[in-house]
């Protein structure tokens, strides 16, 4: 299972942290910012079994995350969620099937929204949890 935790950093320089935790086989995480928003980590990274990684974003970031599976180190292609022959998707979206986590921070009325979407199909188990921590 692929787990995404959203940490809101209150009192710090307007930022959030996304923590990615991989409880299954190796995946390549794909990241695509919505128009006008950055492709965090230039759009992706590899995450081995049992590994986790934290990624920082602006507190008004909006975009999507997905897991790419059965990826080939040589050709850089994945059987699910592929974004071309690259580890970092650099703004490109994933090819279905791909389970998506969609996030909009400070959206309508300043509220944060997130969901897990199967609009592009299903390729991995995914969960999202929210944690808030104060910083000084």
Per-residue pLDDT of the chain (136 residues; tens, 9 = 90+): 555 555 444 444 478 889 999 999 999 999 999 999 999 999 999 999 999 999 999 999 999 999 999 999 999 999 999 999 999 999 999 999 999 999 999 999 999 999 999 999 999 999 888 776 655 4
Instruction: Report d(CA 100, CA 98) in Å as an integer.
Output: 6
Give the number of other CB atoms < 10 A from CB of residue 29.
27
Domain residue ranges of the chain, discontinuous segments joined by +:
2-134
pLDDT score recorded for residue 134: 52
Residue 114 CB neighbours (<10 A): 15
Joined together, the tokens standing for residue 81 give 């969620």
Q: pTM for the whole thing?
A: 0.87
Spatial CA neighbour of 2 closest among 65, 79, 62, 87: 65
Rounded Cα distance, 60 and 37, in Å: 9
For the record, the structure tokens of 120 come out as 């592009």
User: Residue 10: its pLDDT value, please?
Assistant: 41
Cα dihedral value 101, 97, 94, 107, nearest 10: -30
Q: Which CATH number fits domain 2-134: 2.60.110.10, 2.160.10.10, 3.40.50.300, 3.50.50.60?
A: 2.60.110.10
Please tell me the predicted confidence (pLDDT) of residue 2: 56
């Amino acid at each position: 299972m692929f787990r995404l935790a959203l940490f809101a950093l209150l009192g710090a320089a307007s930022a959030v942290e996304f923590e990615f935790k991989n409880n299954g086989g190796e995946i390549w995480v794909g990241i695509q910012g919505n128009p006008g928003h950055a492709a965090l980590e230039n759009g992706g990274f590899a995450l081995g079994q049992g590994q986790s990684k934290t990624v920082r974003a602006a507190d008004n970031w909006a975009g999507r995350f997905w897991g790419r599976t059965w990826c080939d180190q040589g050709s850089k292609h994945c059987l699910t969620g592929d974004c071309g022959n690259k580890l970092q998707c650099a703004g490109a979206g994933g090819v279905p099937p791909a389970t998506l986590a969609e996030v909009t921070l400070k959206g309508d009325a300043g509220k944060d929204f997130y969901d897990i979407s199967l609009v592009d199909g299903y390729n991995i188990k995914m969960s999202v949890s929210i944690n808030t921590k104060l910083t000084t």
